Structure 1
Amino acid sequence: MAQQAHIVGKVEYREGDGPNIAIRPGPVQVETALNDATLSWTDEDTRGSAAMPLADFKRYVAEGKIRLAA
């Protein structure tokens, strides 16, 4: 089940061995699995998504960079 969240700080993910890519501030939907979290968002006509290790996601939440909706 997707959970609503809000990006409020610098949150980045990495595609393969490439550079870190920032996720823009704003609302996202979060789907968590055993080992990772997938964040999805919409900007006007474009959609984005990013997968990150669950440990990184939890760190961003603990640091206050991602706020989970109540």
Structure 2
Amino acid sequence: MAQKAEITGKVEYREGDGPLIPIRKGPVEVTTTAQDATLSWHDEGGEVRGSTAMPIADFKRYLAEGAIRLAD
């Protein structure tokens, strides 16, 4: 089940072996498994959408740093 969260700091992901790509600040939906976290987002108009999976260790680090905040 997806959980609502907010990007409040510098959060980046990598597509394949490419460079790090920042995720814009704002609301995201997060789905986690034992291995990874999938983050999905869209702009207010719904025209731009994005999604990425990151290792669960990276996701937990972003949580600990306060760059991602889970909604209550």
TM bin, normalised by shorter chain, reads: over 0.9
Which amino acid is the alignment partner of residue 8 of structure 2?
Answer: V
Shift in Å at residue 50 of structure 1? 1.0
User: How many residues matched?
Assistant: 70
Which amino acid is the alignment partner of residue 69 of structure 2?
Answer: R
Q: Counterpart in 2 of 1:15?
A: 15
Residues in 1 aligned to 2:33 and 2:16: alpha-carbon distance in whole angstroms: 19
Residues in 2 aligned to 1:46 and 1:20: alpha-carbon distance in whole angstroms: 19
Q: Counterpart in 1 of 2:57?
A: 55
Q: Secondary structure at the match of 1:62?
A: helix
Residues in 1 aligned to 2:49 and 2:59: alpha-carbon distance in whole angstroms: 20
> 1:17-56, CA deviations, whole angstroms, 9 ceiling, x for partnerless residues?
1000000000000000120000000112121101100000
- Root-mean-square deviation (Å): 0.6
Shift in Å at residue 59 of structure 1? 0.2
TM-score (norm 2): 0.94
Identity in percent: 71
Q: Counterpart in 2 of 1:2?
A: 2
TM-score (norm 1): 0.97
